[in-house]
């Protein structure tokens, strides 16, 4: 059997579930910290576990370039190489090829591109992507797709979606079923509901262990993201996990959970941590701001993370303004903990049938903003 998904509760469209895999289980809703090259920046695996993370994401494109899939395989696969005991999902590399690399040619066969690191030429096809992910020992692999840019005309979005569906079929044929491992299909179609519907129909006929909603969080307005995500999630099989790719801000996650999405990833909590931004119940705190320099309070008085338990805003301000590595570590730890707490709280309220209450409280607190410092 492949990985399994069970639903513990449904509240409106929001779901609380459990995914069982060869590398351990994780509850949904689930936020996956991004460990692009086999590490979540400024975090240790132990820190991730302490923060509440149960699954992390890594990227096929970056790991294919360095250290290379054969090296990762010789080191025992991603989990052993990273020292991470839980599940790992790997993106197929399609988005990074389109956004980072110097493209040479895109055909139905695959993509020829030059590395953004040293210009070396590579070829990535559905078969190559799946083979690389197998060498990485990815718990959950993703089909190779072409991420439709925004904005795109309907004809361009349709052509891109159709190519992704051809690649999805080939990815499925290449993937080797193993107990506890899974392959997710990716829905494309831009902002066009009929193209999204066509993509879902094609993927459902192929049959996957889970389904991802791709091609969003690429520049469209939040209202468009929410509309397309809600529409697409409603078309996907109820008995399979739904993964909204590349999302996002805390308010995006709450909205997406209410739309029936189960899994998420985004670089925002780690990237923001390294640039001095913290996510709290009351919104974003820019710790570089001078008003924090003598503030004895933690980032969030109710947060139980090690950063808030032991360090003041004033000290964090000093570390970040001094470009000390510890500042990036402590800010990132808090942000990862906040995102995981958001998932845990969402799940608890769904199980009680009170997700609307959680959503209302979340919005009310964030509307208040960060309060003035107490010195």
Render the burial of 201-228: b for 16+ CB within 10 Å, e for the rest: ebbbeeebbbbbbbbbbbebeeeebbeb
Contact (CB, 8 A) for 110 and 92: no
pLDDT, residue 251, reads 97
Structure confidence at residue 95 (pLDDT): 84
Delineate the domains of the chain, giving CATH numbers in brackets. 4-266 (3.20.20.105), 273-368 (no CATH)
The answer to whether the CB of 77 falls within 8 A of the CB of 139 is: no
Confidence (pLDDT) at 96: 86
Within 8 A by CB and 6+ apart from 290, the residues are 317
As annotated, the active-site residues are 91, 265
Helix (H) or strand (E) holding 216: none
DSSP code of 211? Answer: E
Q: Profile the chain (375 residues) by mean pLDDT over runs of 10 residues.
A: 92 98 98 97 98 97 96 98 98 83 84 90 95 98 94 97 98 98 98 98 98 96 97 98 97 98 98 98 97 97 97 98 98 98 98 98 91 54
pLDDT at 373: 54
Cα distance between the two ends of the chain: 59
pLDDT of residue 105: 84
């Amino acid at each position: 059997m492949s990985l399994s998904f069970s639903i513990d509760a449904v509240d409106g469209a929001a779901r609380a579930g459990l995914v069982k895999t060869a590398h351990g289980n994780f509850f949904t809703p689930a936020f996956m910290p991004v460990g692009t090259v086999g590490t979540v920046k400024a975090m240790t695996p132990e820190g991730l576990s302490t923060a509440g993370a149960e699954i992390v994401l890594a990227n096929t494109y970056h790991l294919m370039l360095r250290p290379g899939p054969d090296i990762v395989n010789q080191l025992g696969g991603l989990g052993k190489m990273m020292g991470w005991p839980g599940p790992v999902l790997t993106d197929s590399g399609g988005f990074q090829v389109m956004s980072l690399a110097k493209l040479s040619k895109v055909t139905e066969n695959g993509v020829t591109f030059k590395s953004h690191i040293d210009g070396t030429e590579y070829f990535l096809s559905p078969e190559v992507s799946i083979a690389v992910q197998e060498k990485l020992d990815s718990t959950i692999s993703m089909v190779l797709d072409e991420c439709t840019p925004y904005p795109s005309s309907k004809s361009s979005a349709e052509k891109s979606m159709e190519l992704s569906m051809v690649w999805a079929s080939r990815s499925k044929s290449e993937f080797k079923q193993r107990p506890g491992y899974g392959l997710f299909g990716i829905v494309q179609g831009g902002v066009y509901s009929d193209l999204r519907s066509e993509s879902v129909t094609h993927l459902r006929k192929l049959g996957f262990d889970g389904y991802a909603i791709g091609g969003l969080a690429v520049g469209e307005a939040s209202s468009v993201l929410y509309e397309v995500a809600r529409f697409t999630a409603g078309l996907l099989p109820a008995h399979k996990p739904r993964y909204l790719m590349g999302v996002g801000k805390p308010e995006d996650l709450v909205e997406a959970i209410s739309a029936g999405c189960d899994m998420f990833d985004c670089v925002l909590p780690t990237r923001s941590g390294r640039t001095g931004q913290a996510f709290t119940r009351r919104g974003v705190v820019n710790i570089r701001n001078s008003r924090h320099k003598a503030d004895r309070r933690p980032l969030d008085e109710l947060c139980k993370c090690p950063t808030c338990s032991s360090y003041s805003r004033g000290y964090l301000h000093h570390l970040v303004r001094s470009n000390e590595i510890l500042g990036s570590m402590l800010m990132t730890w808090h942000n990862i903990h906040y995102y995981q707490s958001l998932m845990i709280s969402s799940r608890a309220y769904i199980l009680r049938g009170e997700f609307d209450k959680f959503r209302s409280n979340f919005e009310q607190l964030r509307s208040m903003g960060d309060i003035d410092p107490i010195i």
